[in-house]
Amino acid sequence: MTDDAARPPGRIVSEPGARFPVPGPRSFRTLGIETSCDETAVALLDGDGRVLAHLLSSQAAAHAPYLGVVPEIAARHHLEALPLLLDGIARDVPLDGVELVAVTRGPGLIGSLLVGTCFASAWAWARSLPLVGVDHLEGHLVSPFVSLDGEPAREAPASTLALVVSGGHSSYFLLAGGAARPLNRTRDDAAGEVFDKLAAALGLGYPGGPVIDRLAEDGDRRAFEFAAPRIKDPSGALDFSFSGLKTATMRRAAELAELPLADPGRPPQAILDLLASFRRTVVDWLLAPLDALVETHRPQVVAASGGVAANRELRRRLAEWGVVRGVEVVLPPVALTTDNAVMIARAGQLRARAGLFDDPRSLRAYPRAPWKAGADRKGRPVFPSL
């Protein structure tokens, strides 16, 4: 008898008690699908979390004229792109060996999520394959432990302090004992959101993070200083707040130059200095709670993920911090910082390994996270397989 055969069958989590055959917990060759926002992505991982193929279709150009994501355009794009990406993957690696389908079920744009979840459910159902719905955040949380160099995915250590910074999140989480507990939050804008809003105000286009990051490399990061936000509530001492910084930077930019900038490709040096100072300040503030959190929670590793984890200054300074403090810092490959299907496939594998499956006939997408403070309404940890 194999180990797998000895294990109990998994269970359906989306509809407890549903009569649907599910395999026991084991390793599965997994197809991952991500459509929660403006990237359509498909990935194939072997049972050890090795990336066999992954493809992504960015919609940035379609949304750029609107300086933000237009939900209807996003959903239509996913619908067109998904079958094409799947065909593209099948040209490299045959899909008949797929044993599990993992898909993002939320949070995100509901039209986009519906395209992904319906597609994945139908694909799995037609082939009698097990299905796993994954929370988008769960995907970001596992992304630092996946490689794009042909290596198997790394097992997350028993305790990880994980910074998730994207267009929708800015929080440290403690991953330990099968739960992801948020340790702080942003009081206003998410870190990626301030990059996007600042870039929009300056006429630098969308998304703002990559362009500001690139331009900031040529600026003086000490040229401007910004006052740190004061959060009066003592329980929020480690919380973030970025909206004041965004407003102050926009005001300075308006004093320095005519906005929108006449030539966004070559902003004046004063604007480059301002962007470098802005980026340095965001990173200062993101790293500010780190020492206290490490002191309190003593994690084995510190990880960062989400679109803003592509930021060059954040990556450099986190790595330096790790060397100085003697703490291992784990960052995802830059290609896996923004939304992708590799992280969804991997998070799905971990769920399947814990025996948690969903019914392809009834998987529901959710636009907003149905959980708070790391637990669902019944107090159960939301990411039990992490």
Report the b/e string of 22-33 with b at 16+ CB within 10 A: bbebbbbbbbbb
Instruction: Give the DSSP H or E segment for 114.
Output: helix 110-126
* Residue 84 Cβ vs Zn ion, minimum distance, rounded to whole Å: 22
Q: 106, 116, 139, 307: which one contacts ligand KG4 (CB under 6 A)?
A: 307
Q: 34, 46, 138, 213: which one contacts ligand KG4 (CB under 6 A)?
A: 213
Q: Got the DSSP string for 269-283?
A: HHHHHHHHHHHHHHH
For residue 306, state whether it binds ligand KG4 (rule: CB under 6 A): yes
Q: In the stretch 191-210, what mask flags binding to ligand KG4 with x, by CB under 6 A?
A: -xx-xx----------xxxx
Q: 310, 345, 365, 386: which one contacts ligand KG4 (CB under 6 A)?
A: 310
The entry of Zn ion, ligand KG4, none near residue 207 (CB within 5 to 8 angstroms by kind) is ligand KG4
Please provide the distance, in angstroms rounded to a whole number, between the alpha carbons at the two ends of the chain.
28
Contact range with Zn ion by CB under 5 A, out of 41-49, 104-112, 190-198, 334-342? 334-342
* Residue 168 Cβ vs ligand KG4, minimum distance, rounded to whole Å: 4
Instruction: Give the DSSP H or E segment for 92.
Output: helix 71-92
Pick 22 or 43: Cβ nearer ligand KG4: 43
DSSP state, 156? P
Q: Distance between CA 252 and CA 128 in Å, rounded? A: 59
What phi and psi, each to the nearest 5 degrees, are found at residue 312?
-65, -40
Q: In the stretch 281-300, what mask flags binding to ligand KG4 with x, by CB under 6 A?
A: --------------------
For residue 338, state whether it binds ligand KG4 (rule: CB under 6 A): yes
For residue 308, state whether it binds ligand KG4 (rule: CB under 6 A): yes
Q: Which of 110, 92, 89 is nearest to 101 (CA)?
A: 89
Q: Distance between CA 374 and CA 122 in Å, rounded? A: 30
Pick 176 or 190: Cβ nearer ligand KG4: 190
Omega before 107 within 30 of 0, i.e. cis: yes
Q: In the stretch 179-208, what mask flags binding to Zn ion with x, by CB under 5 A?
A: ------------------------------
For residue 367, state whether it binds ligand KG4 (rule: CB under 6 A): no
Q: Which of 258, 269, 260 is nearest to 204 (CA)?
A: 260
For residue 107, state whether it binds ligand KG4 (rule: CB under 6 A): no
The entry of ligand KG4, Zn ion, none near residue 311 (CB within 5 to 8 angstroms by kind) is ligand KG4
The entry of Zn ion, ligand KG4, none near residue 359 (CB within 5 to 8 angstroms by kind) is none
Q: 166, 170, 277, 385: which one contacts Zn ion (CB under 5 A)?
A: 166
3-state secondary structure string, 308-355? HHHCHHHHHHHHHHHHHHCCEEECCCHHHCCCCCHHHHHHHHHHHHCC
**Contacts of residue 295, Cβ cutoff 8 Å, sequence gap at least 6:** none
Residue 205, classified by CB atoms within 10 Å of its CB into exposed (0-12), middle (13-18) or buried (19+), is middle
| Cβ contact 331:315 at 8 Å | yes
Phi-psi region of 78 (alpha: psi -120 to 50; beta: other; left: phi over 0): alpha
| Cβ contact 191:282 at 8 Å | yes
Contact range with ligand KG4 by CB under 6 A, out of 161-169, 218-226, 247-255, 370-378? 161-169
For residue 111, state whether it binds ligand KG4 (rule: CB under 6 A): no
Pick 37 or 250: Cβ nearer ligand KG4: 37
For residue 168, state whether it binds ligand KG4 (rule: CB under 6 A): yes
The entry of ligand KG4, Zn ion, none near residue 99 (CB within 5 to 8 angstroms by kind) is none
Binding site for ligand KG4 (CB under 6 A): 37, 166-168, 192-193, 195-196, 207-210, 213, 306-308, 310-311, 338-339
Binding site for Zn ion (CB under 5 A): 166, 339
